[in-house]
Amino acid sequence: MIAQIINADLGERGICKVYLGYRTRRYTFLKDAAEALLGNLENVIIVTGFPVPPSLRPENDGPLGAIALHEAVERLGGKAFILTFDDLKEAMLPLVRGFIDRGQAEKMIADGEASLLISIESPGKASDGRYHSMRGIPLDIEGFDELFLMAREGKIPTIGIGDGGNEIGMGNVRDLVERYVPIGEKISSTVGVDHLITAGVSNWGAYGLIAEASILSGRYLLPEWREEDALKVLNYFGVIDGVTGKAEMSVDGIPVNVHEDLKSLLKDLVVHKVSGP
Ligand code: MG
Ligand code: MG
């Protein structure tokens, strides 16, 4: 139920068709991911950040979901760490603490200390070995997908959240991305995860995961802050809407009130499910 809501394809980018194909293969993907989250709370590494060409400013889809996930893990008694690019870290710092750098994350994974890796809207390499924007522009950046490959080798569970096909995790459904997303064969990520969550907007994927974890755990875990207030902070630091290319009150070209409304719908569903009929 929640998976359907978070896969509303308002941007008409083909993700709904990817989702419909994906759910025939793995109908319980959101529940499976929520169980993986609830069962591995000790040291959760949350990776986010998508630089948008030509400026390579970070986009505002991803960080809000990452902050919400960080809060949910800590509320459940776990420990969460955020890994991202320096410019996005600066913008997120007024909203959340608990960042680690690439070296610390690598060590935690290599030592087997990381209990779970979650990617939300992070670039995953395509078959040509490069990262691409949704429009097929190659990104000259050092991404974080190698950490997910390392984690998988070390049998550390991984969750990937994406909305376009070019993100970490979308390697699980590469054939569907190639079929349904414009220029999918060029941009589709080859990087897979144990649990992929598709969503119309990646932040919605994080909120959906938290809603599902709330239902499973019987505890309300969705964030209390307003989307608008958090977005204002990111705007101030020049974090942009990935579709419009501007620092404004929208995410993926969708006005902020729609994001708030979606969160509020998830909230109502969780309260209903947890408190019962
Ligand atoms: Mg995306
Ligand atoms: Mg997005």
Residue 38 near residue 216, CB atoms below 8 Å? yes
Strand partners, 195: 159
Alpha-carbon distance 237 to 247, whole Å? Answer: 9
Per-chain residues with Cβ under 5 A from ion ligand 2 = 61, 163, 202, 252
235 C-alpha to ligand 1 centroid (Å): 18
Tens of pLDDT along the chain (277 residues)? 899 999 999 988 899 999 999 999 999 999 999 999 999 999 999 999 999 999 999 999 999 999 999 999 999 999 999 999 999 999 999 999 999 999 999 999 999 999 999 999 999 999 999 999 999 999 999 999 999 999 999 999 999 999 999 999 999 999 999 999 999 999 999 999 999 999 999 999 999 999 999 999 999 999 999 999 999 999 999 999 999 999 999 999 999 999 999 999 999 999 998 886 6
Alpha-carbon dihedral angle through residues 38, 39, 41, 45, given to the nearest 10 degrees:
-90
For the entire predicted model, the pTM comes to 0.98
Alpha-carbon distance 200 to 92, whole Å? Answer: 23
276 C-alpha to ligand 2 centroid (Å): 33
Phi-psi domain of 198 (left: phi exceeds 0; alpha: psi -120 through 50; beta: other) = beta
145 C-alpha to ligand 2 centroid (Å): 17
135 C-alpha to ligand 1 centroid (Å): 11
Per-chain residues with Cβ under 5 A from ion ligand 1 = 163-164
Query: 99 is written with which tokens?
Result: 């960042």
61 C-alpha to ligand 2 centroid (Å): 5
